[in-house]
Amino acid sequence: MGWHRGLLVPRKAGRSRQRVLTDPEGSGQARPHLPPELWLHVFDLATDVPGALGLETHSHDPFQLSQSISGREPQSLLLASMSTKRALVRVCRQWRVLATPVLYRVVIANHKWGLRALRRTLVGGDNERATLLRACVVRFYCIFDGHRAPTDYLYPYEYLAEIIRALPNLVNFTVRTQEEEFLPWYAGDTTVPACVLEALAERGASLRVLEWDRDVSLCARFDELRGMLSHMRELRVLKIWKSCPRYTGSRDPTPLVLPKLEVISLDDFSEHSPLRFAVDRFESLRELCFRAPPLPLGRSLVSLASVAPQITRLTLGSAPDGTCPVHDAVRIFPNLRQLVAWYHDWHLFPPGLQLANIEYLGLGRELARIRPVLHVYDRLLDNLASMQARRLAVVRFEAHRFRADEWENLRVRRPEVFAGFQALARSRRFRLENWRGEIML
């Protein structure tokens, strides 16, 4: 069994390895035969990544969707799952037949070489096997180089469009930058050719999730993006972290009608935003996420008035001054039940917040390094204690992937402060959680 460099998909089947199906003691007796359905269940358990398909808009974890603002979607877990699937299809001929559809359910094009390899596998030859593999693909996950613009300019976008068009059952299309490191900022924008937008529009009937990382610009024109979205009436989740770099759209655009859209995540809320809440129609919308909310948020009340009563979950990144417009948020969205607020640092969380209807509160800190000045945690504790939130059931401390151990460090360095947070949670009868959703004992 050989493997394409940069892409976790099989290239060529080799000899079956029947010996793994015999008794490990060497008796030569075959293991008991199991029905294919049971093997498939075992494969699913062995390779499961929660939220891998991105379709769980009603997750048991109320914070699952809001976590995308911290860039913490488990890219590494997806890659590890693909490695496990790769191992399964190499065990024997029977497992290869059973596990191949599982392997191709989520395909990952790892940078340029991965995309070329995926194209060779799925559309390089007109044969029955390629047709069957294309039908298995539910999620197409592309990993770009991010702000390394010269690399992105050389990206084979025509191959990307060709693959998208060839996937009849595609429900989730995701473009992300590599997760392992901070990428250098680049002032220019790498725009995606119209062929990719046209291919996505052709797949609009099947797409349920569209996500594009903020480090890769989605389109060159405002109208092109809206035109593409108009073909996606079945869309449930839309995450666009990059506004169109060239605003050339009409000030009175044709309204977008996306009746099944439930979740919207945007990088900002400005005239460059591809959506117009004052005219667009999103009857099923219930969750909003603004990575860079305007300040004051109250100025956006007029344009959000049409959807504000529908919203029950809201995630706000930190504003330019490092604060988060929570006061405006609870006023604008009267039916809010979950709020995730990001601040530049913990001491900016305000005292005396009135969160009468909030049941789930997430708090995140944008500052990259662990704070050496520990009094900010004392300030946060005091301000949390002054908060009025009679319905509050859970407080979760969100974390960027680069500093997920912040609260463990606080437990060691200032155990008395950490104990203060635990005591507050007990006295107010809410659950205090870390970013994984585990109770902070």
Split at pLDDT 50, 70, 90, the class of 29 is low
Which residue in 256, 249, 325 sits closest to 285, CA to CA?
A: 256
**pLDDT given at position 169:** 93
Instruction: Say which range, 15-19, 285-289, 431-435, has the weakest mean pLDDT.
Output: 15-19
Is the per-residue pLDDT at 312 higher than 90?
yes
Instruction: Say which range, 228-232, 372-376, 384-388, has the weakest mean pLDDT.
Output: 372-376
In this structure, the dihedral spanned by the alpha carbons of residues 104, 109, 114 and 120, taken in order and rounded to 10 degrees, is 50
Q: Which residue has the tokens 């947070």?
A: 421
Looking at residues 279-286, what average pLDDT do you find? 92
107-117: per-residue pLDDT in tens? 888 888 888 88
Strongest mean pLDDT among 65-69, 240-244, 262-266, 334-338? 334-338
155-177: per-residue pLDDT in tens? 788 899 999 999 999 999 988 77
Residue 173 to residue 166: CA distance in whole angstroms: 13
Residue 338 to residue 311: CA distance in whole angstroms: 9
Amino acid type, 75: Q
Continuous H helices in 352-414: 375-385, 406-413
Continuous H helices in 123-221: 128-136, 149-153, 157-166, 194-202
**pLDDT given at position 13:** 42
H or E stretch at 176: strand 172-177
- Entry pTM: 0.80
Longest dimension (CA), the chain: 77
The β-bridge partners of 268 are 292
Which residue in 232, 230, 283, 272 sits closest to 255, CA to CA?
A: 230
Which residue in 311, 376, 313 sits closest to 343, CA to CA?
A: 376
Helix pair angle (93-103, 36-47), 10° resolution: 50
Looking at residues 191-216, what average pLDDT do you find? 84
Instruction: Say which range, 4-13, 205-214, 313-322, 418-427, has the weakest mean pLDDT.
Output: 4-13
Looking at residues 191-202, what average pLDDT do you find? 86
Split at pLDDT 50, 70, 90, the class of 151 is very low
Residue 333 to residue 290: CA distance in whole angstroms: 14
Beta-sheet pairing, 106-110 with 139-144: parallel
Which residue in 330, 210, 339 sits closest to 265, CA to CA?
A: 210
Split at pLDDT 50, 70, 90, the class of 21 is very low
Which residue in 409, 410, 421 sits closest to 384, CA to CA?
A: 421
Looking at residues 294-321, what average pLDDT do you find? 80
Q: What percent of the chain has pLDDT over 70?
A: 68
Is the per-residue pLDDT at 194 higher than 60?
yes
DSSP string, 61-111: STTTGGGGGGT-S-HHHHHHHHHHHHHHHTT-HHHHHHHHHHHTSEEEEEH
- DSSP, collapsed to helix, strand or coil, labels residue 124 as coil
Residue 15 to residue 22: CA distance in whole angstroms: 16
- Which residues have C-beta within 8 Å of that of residue 156, sequence separation ≥ 6? 112, 115, 116
Is the per-residue pLDDT at 396 higher than 70?
yes
Q: Which residue has the tokens 């002032």?
A: 187
Looking at residues 69-80, what average pLDDT do you find? 61
Q: Which residue has the tokens 């379709």?
A: 55
Is the per-residue pLDDT at 189 higher than 60?
no
- How many residues make up the chain in this entry? 441
Residue 207 to residue 173: CA distance in whole angstroms: 8
Q: Could you tell me which residue, 428 or 26, shows the higher pLDDT?
A: 428
| Contact between 406 and 370 (Cβ < 8 Å) | yes
Q: Provide the mean pLDDT of the chain.
A: 76
DSSP annotation of 141 reads E
**pLDDT given at position 51:** 64
**pLDDT given at position 253:** 80
Residue 230 to residue 201: CA distance in whole angstroms: 8
